[in-house]
Structure 1
Amino acid sequence: MVDYSDSDSRTLLKRLRDTLATDGDGQDRLNRITHLIADSLDTQVCSIYLFRDPETLELCATEGLNPEAVHRTRMRLGEGLVGRVARSGQPINSADAPSEPGFRYMAETGEEIYSSFVGVPIQRVGEKLGVLVVQSKEKRSFTDDELYGLDVVAMVLAEMTELGAFVGGENADIGATHRFTVMFRGATGQEGAAEGRVWLHEPRVVVTNPVGEDPETEQARLEDGIKELRKRIDEMLSNITVIDKDQRQVLETFKMLAASKGWKRRMSEDIAAGLSAEAAVEKEQNAARARMQLAPDPYLRERLNDLDDLSNRLLRILTGQGSDTGAEMPENPVLLARNIGPAELLDYGRKLKGVVLEEGSVGSHAAIVARALSIPLVIHAGRITAEALNGDPILVDGDQGVVHLRPEESVAHAFRDKIAMQAEAQKRYADLRDLPATDISGQTVSLLMNAGLMADLPSLKGSGAEGVGLFRTELQFLTRTRVPRRGELAQLYARVMDAADGKRVYFRTLDIGSDKVVPYMKPQDEPNPAMGWRALRVGLDKPGVLRMQLQALLRAGNGRPMSIMFPFIALPEEFYAARDMLFRVRDREAEMGRVVPEELSIGAMLETPSLGFAPDSFYNACDFISIGGNDLKQFFFAADRENERVRKRYDTLDTSFLTFLERIIARCAVANTPLSFCGEDAGRPIEALTFAALGIRALSMRPASIGPVKHLIRRSDLGELRQIIQRARNEGHTSVRPVVTSYLAHL
C-alpha cells in the first residue's frame, strides 16, 4: 500500500508548482526555484546549470554562490563534477567534493567554503538538459531520500525546460531546447542531398503537467492506462498469424513487462512523491535508458529497449498524444525516426525528400528501400529525434553522412549551391541518355541499374540504363508480415519484365539473413550474421521457399528469356545444387503444360573470395557471373561494412583487391563467361572507370549514377588508363587512386 500522506518531496513539488505558476520571466523563475530548493533541503547552496549548446554548461541561477558568477561561469561537458554528472547522466553524492576525481574549483563562484556536493542530471528521456546542484559547508553525504527528492525535482525541471519555462530575461539565449543550430555526424545510408522540413515518424510526447494535484487520482489514471496498454497488446497478439513468430515474441515481451509488479510499484512511488502519472512513467523511462547505456549484456539492453518502447506506448495513452497529432505534413518533408521498417517507409513513398535515422545500417531494410526510392538517407544520427520538432528546417547530406538541423543561413546557402550544381550536372548527363558508354578508343561498357521495387522501373528509361543488372527479390518478403504467395510474386515479376520492355532483367533469388531478417523468420542470434545463415544457405536448407520463388519467376517469364542468379555462394557445390533445383522446377512446369523460357541464363553472385579459386568447371558451368562488390570487399579486407570504425578504412582501389579482381576477369575470359560488377562502388565514377579499364564490361548501379559514370567513360581511353594502372602497380603503389585521379585531372 503506497502512503499518500504529504512527504517532504510532495511538499517541495507543490511549492515548486506554485512558484512556476507565478508571473515573471524565465530568470525570475530560476532564481525563485534555487531559493526554494535550498530552503526546503536546509542547504546553503542550490544551483542550476543548463546547456548553452550541446557541449557547454552555463550557471543560470544560484542561491548561495556569488550572484555575479551567473551567466559567466561555463564549463565543457565532462569538465568538473558538474560536467561529469552531465556527461554520465548519473548523480554524484560526495561529502568531500574537492577530493573527488576531476574536481574543478571555479574561483568566481566563491564555492571554496562548501565541502559537500550533490549533483543530479536534469534530463528528459535521455536528452541532457542540465544539472541540479546542492552544496553545504558541513561534510556530509545526502541521504537516499534526499537524493530521490532531488531526482524528482530534476524531473520536473526537465519538463519545464522542455516547455520553455525558463526562457526570458538574462536567460534569453539558453534553457530553451529545439532552438539551436545542431549538426549531426552519422553515416551514409544512401547518397544524395536534400533540403526540407522535419517530419517525425513518432512525434515526441510532451508532459504538460509534471506535478500531480491528487496522488489517488494520478494512481487511478496510471492503473487505467496500464489496463488499456495490456488490452491493446492482447488485441495485437490476437491479430497476428501463427507464422509471425518474431513479432509475436516482441509483443509477448511487451505483455510480460506490462505485467511487471516492480515497474508498476516504482511508478506508484513516484506518484506518491508528487509526480503526475505521465511524469512518473517518464521518470522510469529515464531510469531505463540510463541502465540501457550501462548494461554490458546485449540481451539486457534489448529488454531495457523493450521497456523504453512500452513506456512510450503508455505515455501516449495517458496524454492522448498519439502518432496522429492532426499536424499536416510540411512541404518537402524529411522523415526522422529512431528506426523504421521497410513497409512503413514505403507507405510514405516518394513524397519524402530524405530520411534520417538514429539507428539503421547500410544494409538495413530502410536503406534498401531508400536506395530503391532514390531518397538520401543518413543513419546513426544519434539523438536527433529528441532535438528536432515537426517543421524544423533541415539539410540532409547523404554523400557525407551529415545532417544540419535548423542551419544557419550561410550553411543553407552553401548547401543550396551544392544541390544546384548536382541538378545542373544531371541535366548535362541527360543529353547522354541514349548514347553508349563508349570510350574514345571504341571500347564499350554496358551500364545497368539496380532495382528492387516496381517504383524503380520508371528510372530504367530515364537513366539510360541498358537493363536491370540486379533486381533484389527480397524486398517483397521484407515488407510483408507473412510469406508472399506464389501467385503474388509471379504477377509482380511479370510486371517488372513488362516494364523493362524487352531489356534484360537479372533476378537475384532471395537474399535474407544477416541484417535482412524477415518478420516471420525466427532470428538466429548469430555472433556474426554477415558470415552466417543467410542468402542461398537459407534457400538450400529451406528448399520449399526457394522452389516457390523459382516457380514464380518462371511463370512470370511466360516463355520470355530469363536471367536468374543465386547469391552468396561460397562453394561450387552450392551453385550446382541451386541450379539443379531450378532445372527440376523448369521441367516440372513444362510437364504441367506451362510455358517455360526458351532461353534460361543461370548465374552466380561472386561475393566470397573462395570463388576466386574455384575450379575451371565452375566458371564453365555459369552462364554469367556478377561480382557482389559490397560483400566481397568486406570479406576480402575482413572489415565489416556495418562497422563505421573499419568500413572506410580500406580502399577499393587497393592494388591487392584489384589484383584479385583481375584474376576473376581473366578466368571469366578463358571460360567465355560474361562478367559484371554490382555494388556501391560500381556507381562511383573513379572506381567504375578503373573496373572498366581492368576489363569488366558490365557495371550495375543506382540509376542516378549512370550519367556521371557514362560521362567519364566517354571522355577516357580505357587502354591508356590500364597502362597507367599497371605502371603504378609495378612501381609498388599500394593504391592506384592517386594515379587514376591524376589521369582524370588532365582530361
Structure 2
Amino acid sequence: MTEDFQTDSRQMLGRLREVMAEDALGQARLDKITRLIAGSMRTEVCSVYLFRDPETLELCATEGLKPEAVHKTRMRLGEGLVGRVARTGKLVNTADAPQETGFRYMPETGEEIYSSFAGVPIQRLGETLGVLVVQSKEARKYSEDEIYALEVVAMVLAEMAELGAFIGDSAALTKRHTKPVMFRGTCGQEGAAEGHVWLHEPRVVITNPIADDPERENARLHEAVEQLRVGVDRMLAGAQAGDAEQLEVLEAYRMFANSKGWMRRMQADITRGLSAEAAVEKEQTAARARLASATDSYLRERLHDLDDLSNRLLRILTGQGKETGAEMPADPILVARNIGPAELLDYGRSLRGIVLEQGSVGSHAAVVARALAIPLVVHAKDITTEALNGDYIMVDGDQGIAHLRPEETVSNAFRDKIAMQAKAQERYASIRDVPAITTCGTRMTLTMNAGLMADLPSLENSGAEGVGLFRTELQFLVRNQMPKRSELSSLYAHVLNSAKGKRVVFRTLDIGSDKVLSYMKPNDEPNPALGWRAIRVGLDKPGVLRMQLQALIRAADGRPLSVMFPFVAQYEEYQAARAEMDKAMERERILGHPVPSSLEVGAMLETPSLAFAPKRFFQEVDFLSIGGNDLKQFFFAADRENERVRRRYDTLNVSFLSFLTNIVERCAETGTPLSFCGEDAGRPLEAVCLAAMGLRALSMRPASIGPVKSLLLRTDLAQLRAVIDEASERGEQSVRRAVLDHLRSTT
C-alpha cells in the first residue's frame, strides 16, 4: 500500500470527522459524505443504501445518481448487486455490472451509463446496516487500495449510524436506542417480569472512530495489547495443571494475543486514519464474518477465541464494560447473546428476568432459569444490539416476548397481567397443603423437578409431594472439570436431607445433545438430539456412570434410594444400566458401606421404541417416567428447538393421547408405577387431560403445582375422558377446543 494512498486515506477520514462534527441535519450530513467519498476516490458515483426494515434496503444518499431517486429506490434483501452485498456481507467488485449475475437495473436512478461497480457492506460486528457503493463509467475493477479505503469508510459509517449521526429530518432513518422495540422470541421459562436492562457483556460504544495522530493511536494499541497479554498470562498461571483442555484454550488465547499478523493489520488500519478502538473492531468484524461462514468446529472455536480477545482489548482501550464498576440495577433483567449455567448461577436469584439472543429451550441456561423460576425468553434476535444498560424492559416469558422501552399503553397492560398473576399465586398458596383429589375422587400425586440446591426450599413452599426428577447433570455442567465422587455424594446427601423423608428420584447424568461438558471432547454429530447422549454416554463411559452410582448409594447412607436412567431406547440398555447399579451395590457391601434400605431403579420413557419393549421390561423396571419433552418431539418428528415446526404439533393431538393411553395400559397390566415429567405436566389444561388418560403422577416445575392442583380440584376426570373420546370419534385432530369448552362450562 503506497504512502501517498495512506495519506489520501487519512485526509478523507479527517474530512469525514469534520462532517461528523458539523451541526447539520441527518440528510445533509449523508449528502456531504457521499460527495466527499466520490471526490476523494475520484469516482463519479457514491451511494449509501441503509436498511429500512430487516428485508428492505433504501437509497438514502447519492452523489452521481438522480437525486429524485433518494428515499424512493428500494430493493429486497438479496435483490440486485446491492442486495447481494447486504445478504452475503461480501464485497462485489466488477468492471461490467450489467453482466454480473443478479444485476437489477433501476431506471429511476439513471445508473445505466455506469459500468464499474464496487459495493461493500456497512457492518458492525457481524450486523449489516447497509451498503456503500461507488460506480464509474470507465469499465474497470477498483484497485485493492481503493477497496481497502471503501471498507474503512464503511466501517466508520457503521459507527456513525450507531451514534445517530444521520438523524434530524425526513430521512427514513430512526435513531437507535431510543424508540420502543418488541422482540418476539421463544418461551424458555414462563412468567412475567419488568425491570431495567443489565447487559451480561456490555456493548462497547466507539465514539472516536477517526484519529489524526497515528503515532499516539499505535502507542495506545501497544499499551492495551501488552495489558491484554499480561492478563492472559495471569489466567494461564492460574489454570489448573491437570486441566489439559483449559490450558489448550488459554494457550490459543496467548497465541492470538501475540499474533504479529493481527497486530500488523490493526497498525495498518491506524496508519490509514482509524483510532485504535476502530482498528480493533475492524479486525473483529472480519473475524465474525469468517466465523459465520466457518463449518470446521475447531476453526469456529479459534475464531470465537479471537472475538473474545477483541472484546477484552476494546474494554481495555475504552474503559467500558465490566471494568468500569457500573452497578447492577435493583430490578435487573439480564440481556445477553448467550450465557453458560455457571455464569447464570453467579447472578443467582437477583435477576427478575432473562432475555437471550441465542440459547434454546432445552439448554443448561434454560434449566437453571427454570430452577430459579426466572422468566426467560430465548432467540430474541438483535436485542444485544438494541438494548443499553438501564433501559426499561418487560419480559413476557409466557408468550416469548420482550418489550424494550415500551409505550405507556403496553406498560399498563403488562402491569395488569403481573397483578393478576400475583393474585392467582395468593389463591394457590391457600391450597398448598390440600391433597390433589379431583371431584370424581381420583387422588393425584404432584411432584417437582429440581437440579439445584436452590430448588429445594420449593419442595415445602410449593406443596410438592416429593422430587419426581432431580437432574444430576447440572453439577457437571457448571464446572470446568469432572467433579469428584466425594463432592457428588455430599451434594446428593444434602438433597436427601433437605427432602426430609419425601421421595427424590435422581436421574443419572443426561449429557449430550445440547448439554455438552466443557471438559469432555466435543462430538460433532449431524443430529445430536438423536445421537450420543444420556444413557448411551453412560454405558460407553462406564467409569463415570459407576462413580455417580456409588456417590448416590453413599449419599443414601441406609435410606431409601430412587434412581432413574435417561433416554433408554430399548430393553437391553436398561438391563446393562441395571447391571451397573447391581455391581455398584455389591461393591459398596464388600467395602462395608451401608446400602439403601430400599432401592428403586427406573427408566425415562423418552423414545417411542421403549413403549413397545417386551413385557418383561415392564415387569423388571421398578417405575417408569414419561419424558414428555423428548417423547413428543420424536413422536411428531418435530425438533422442539425449531420454531417453524414445534408449534405445529399439539400435546392434545388424539394420536399422541392414544399413544400415551397405550403406555398407561401396558403399565397397568404389569403393575408398573408410571408418572409424566415435562413442560406439559405443568400446564393445567394438558395436566388434567393427562390425568383423564390414566396418569396418576405428574412432575413439574414448582411454580406450576399450584395452578395444576387448582384445576384438578375442580375437574371430574370421568366426564373429561368422555369429552376426549367423543372428540376423537368425531375425527378431530386435537381435543383442545372440546376440552376448553367443557372446562369453561363446568369449572
Q: TM-score, with normalisation over the residues of structure 2?
A: 0.92
Q: CA shift at 1:587, angstroms?
A: 4.1
Assess if the C-alpha contact under 8 Å between 1:4 and 1:215 holds in 2.
no
Establish whether residue 338 from structure 1 lines up as the match of residue 352 from structure 2: no
Percent identity of paired positions between Structure 1 and Structure 2: 68
Question: What root-mean-square deviation, in Å, do the aligned CA atoms of Structure 1 and Structure 2 show?
Answer: 2.9
Q: CA deviation at 1:389?
A: 0.7
Q: 1:644 to 1:70 in 2, by over 3 A?
A: closer
What SS does the corresponding residue of 1:130 show, helix, strand or coil?
A: strand
Q: State how far apart, in whole Å, the 1-side matches of 2:526 and 2:170 are.
A: 54
Contact 2:156–2:210 (CA under 8 A) maintained in structure 1: yes
Q: CA deviation at 1:282?
A: 1.1
Q: Distance in 2 between matches of 1:260 and 1:188?
A: 42
For residues 264 and 574 of structure 2, the distance between their equivalents in structure 1, rounded to whole angstroms, comes to 58
Please give the alpha-carbon distance, in whole angstroms, between the structure 2 residues aligned to 1:67 and 1:642: 47
**How many angstroms apart in 2 are the aligned matches of 1:693 and 1:318?**
63
- Residue of structure 2 in register with 1:444 after alignment: 443
Amino acid at match of 1:622: V
Q: Distance in 1 between matches of 2:36 and 2:541?
A: 68
Cα distance change on mapping 1:460 and 1:599 into 2, 3 Å: same
Amino acid at match of 2:128: K
Secondary structure of 2:323's partner?
coil
The 8 Å contact of residues 105 and 112 in structure 2, kept in 1 or not, is answered as no
Describe the SS at the equivalent of 1:434: coil
Amino acid at match of 1:365: H
Match of 1:251 in 2: 250
Amino acid in the other structure paired with 1:233: V
SS at 1:218's partner residue?
Answer: helix
Structure 2 SS opposite 1:404: strand
Q: Does 2:746 correspond to 1:742?
A: no
**Secondary structure of residue in 1 paired with 2:122:** strand
Distance 2:174 2:33 in 1: 14
Task: Flag the 1:550–1:616 CA change in 2: closer, same or farther, 3 A.
Answer: same
Counterpart in 2 of 1:311?
310
**What letter matches 1:7 in structure 2?**
T
State the match for 1:40 in structure 2.
40
Query: How far off is 1:380 after superposition?
Result: 1.8
Distance 1:70 1:508 in 2: 63
Aligned-residue offset at 1:366: 0.5
Which piece of structure 1 moves more, 546-555 or 350-359? 546-555
Compute the displacement of 1:345 (Å).
0.2
Distance in structure 2 (CA, Å) of the matches to 1:149 and 1:175: 27
Kindly indicate whether the alpha-carbon contact (under 8 Å) linking 1:51 and 1:175 is maintained by their aligned counterparts in 2: no
For the residue of structure 2 that corresponds to 1:715, the secondary structure is: coil
1:201-259 deviation per Cα after TM superposition (whole angstroms, max 9, x unaligned): 01111223222333344344444444443443343334333554443443344344445
Q: 1:163: which partner in 2?
A: 163
Match in the other structure for 1:558: 557
Distance 1:124 1:589, change over 3 A: same
- 1:19 aligns with 19
**Inter-CA distance 246–179: structure 2 relative to 1 (3 Å threshold):** farther
What is residue 572 of structure 2 aligned with on the other side?
573
Asked if the contact 1:245–1:521 (Cα under 8 Å) also holds between the matched residues in 2, the reply is: no
Aligned AA (2:373) = S
Matched, 1:636 2:635: yes
- Deviation of 1:390 after TM superposition, in Å, equals 0.6
Name the amino acid aligned to 2:125.
V
- Contact 1:662/1:694, CA 8 A, preserved across alignment: yes
Give the counterpart letter for 2:13 in structure 1: L
Asked if the contact 2:315/2:323 (under 8 Å) is kept, the reply is no
Aligned residue type for 1:164:
G
User: What is the rounded CA distance, in whole Å, between the counterparts of 2:57 and 2:573 in structure 1?
Assistant: 60
Counterpart amino acid of residue 210 in structure 2: V
Does residue 8 (structure 1) correspond to residue 8 (structure 2)? The answer is yes
Shift of 1:274: 1.9
Say whether residues 1:539 and 2:544 are aligned partners. no
Distance in 2 separating the partners of 1:429 and 1:380: 31
Distance across 2 between alignment mates of 1:738 and 1:170:
49
One-letter amino acid matched to 2:194: E
The residue aligned with 2:270 is: 271
Write out per-residue CA displacement over residues 397-434 of structure 1, whole angstroms, 9 at most, x where no aligned residue: 22222222222222233322322332232222222222
Q: 1:251 to 1:615 in 2, by over 3 A?
A: same
1:331 deviation in Å? 3.0
Give the number of equivalent residue pairs. Answer: 745
Give distance in 1, aligned partners of 2:616 and 2:597.
24
| Residue 614 of structure 1: aligned partner | 613
Please show how residues 384-395 of structure 1 align to structure 2 within 5 Å.
Answer: 384-395=383-394
Deviations 1:588-630 (A, max 9, x none): 4345444333222221112222221222222222221111112
Of stretches 547-556 and 194-203 in structure 1, the one that deviates more from structure 2 is: 547-556
Q: Which runs of 5+ in 1 are unaligned?
A: none
Alignment TM-score, normalising by the size of structure 1: 0.92
Q: Any conservation in 2 of the 1:354–1:375 contact (CA below 8 Å)?
A: yes
Give the whole-Å Cα distance in 2 for the aligned partners of 1:370 and 1:390.
21
Q: Report the Cα offset of residue 135 of structure 1.
A: 4.1
The answer to whether the 8 A contact 1:246-1:523 is kept is no
Q: Give the conservation status (yes or no) of the 8 Å contact 1:609–1:632.
A: yes
Residue 724 of structure 1 pairs with residue 723 of structure 2: yes
Distance 2:675 2:305 in 1: 44
SS of aligned partner of 1:695? coil
Q: Deviations over 1:121-164 (max 9, x none)?
A: 32211233333333445555433322221211121222233233
Letter in 1 for 2:204: V
Matches within 5 A, 1:13-162: 13-24=13-24, 26-51=26-51, 54=54, 57=57, 59-64=59-64, 82-93=82-93, 101=102, 103=104, 105=106, 107=108, 116-136=116-136, 140-162=140-162
Matching residue's letter, 1:156: V
Greater Cα shift, 183-192 or 113-122: 113-122
Q: Which residue of 2 aligns with 1:503?
A: 502
Indicate the SS of the match to 1:735. Answer: coil
